[in-house]
Structure 1
Amino acid sequence: MPMKNFDTAQLAADYAKQSPQKILELALEHFDNLWLSFSGADDIVVLDMAWKINPNIKVFTLDTGRLHPETYRFLEQVRKHYGIQIEALSPDHQQLEAYVREKGLFDFYENGHGECCGIRKIAPLRRKLASVDAWITGQRKDQSPTRADVPVIERDAAFSTAEHDLIKFNPLANYTSEDVWNYIRMLEIPYNPLHEKGFISIGCEPCTRPVLPNQHEREGRWWWEESTQKECGLHAGNLIAKS
């Protein structure tokens, strides 16, 4: 189906209560230039679902250069387990070197994580998404206050341009953390071993820590900042557009 005939708002309403698999089937049916974003955390569930529909699913990950060793090993485990290629997106080395030279390796503790994430995550992601028609994420409404209204399908307000509409699929939007872990345990799919050490939401090593009992999962990310600021920018533009 041509992009101009893909009624995002109507399909978002029609599929709002559908299963993740149905949403993925819709995405895979209508978009050839479709990529799945895999972080090496609990979005292994959406990767597993998509791979079972189409084992040729195209997958990318953001290699910030600051991930945990366990995450790097997990990415390799997933690559071999599913027999897929995982395209690793890296930061622009000149931009990164200039930032580190000027502000050091831990500037984000004093001045917020925005600039570091902008270089290590957002810029590589923007380059990638400029060349695709649609992408799939593992976002869930229960992950943080900023994601409470995440739709299952949307026009990506953060990365679309006047010349290029980008469609974003969030098949797990209505899943809870319990749903995710029931799926992982029931189907015995691989998962990041950091989860066994109290890490729930997993990002870069300096900005991620385990959470205590009854803490929300995003409290382990950028813990020195307010809960309403716990987005790296990958999805923030879409969330702002809805507020």
Structure 2
Amino acid sequence: MNVLSVDIRNAGYEESKPVIRDVSFSVKAGELVGLIGPNGAGKSTTIKSLLGLLRHVDGTIVFEGEYKRYAYVPEQPVLYEYMTLWEHLQLAAAAYGLDEQTFLRRAELMLDRFRLTEERHRLPTGFSKGMQQKMMLIIGFLLQPDIYVVDEPFVGLDPRATRDFLELLEAERRRGAGVLMCTHVLDTAERICDRFILINGGSVVAQGTMEEVRAQAGCETDALLTDCFYALT
């Protein structure tokens, strides 16, 4: 079952000036799909189109699944200057419509998992980049949605936090959540993703499993994702 279906004919920031064209793909329940491409290829425009942040989108984007809910984890943390970590979590829970008991249980578990329990009453504006990124991951995991849209999640995370994130993501996939992950960390992407969407010049240049991407890139059967990336972009 698909939890996200995308068929974008064209999209951009100005009318009649498309940045991306013919971007079509899907994400199934429990599947991790990597959105890969060089800077300026159209990955951010694709994500903004999914999230309804662009006015000029010609196409169809459907969030499916049991609840038709998604969680977005941005590359750059979104912080409110005078709100503590705990207040950020409370605000997210209110926006998601979580009941208090569910919020408290999930929030406590996530704070403990990412070792931020002692920081709950501090202002995240004073946190390190890695701690701010952990907060954004916690907010995403609070919802337990049908699909996660995650943009460069490894930026600033230390190895232990990266492991925690991947373990939680795997647990969510077992629950049935799909994941669309945009990342430049290609060795990790190759290891954890089920399928890949490679974008270059505003269009999809290859997609599928690692074997299918190798074939589309004209690479050897043992080529790495990095090799395919260079061949296609």
Which is bigger in relative contact order (C-alpha 8 A, separation at least 6)?
2
- Return the TM-score normalized by structure 2: 0.30
Higher share of residues assigned strand: 2
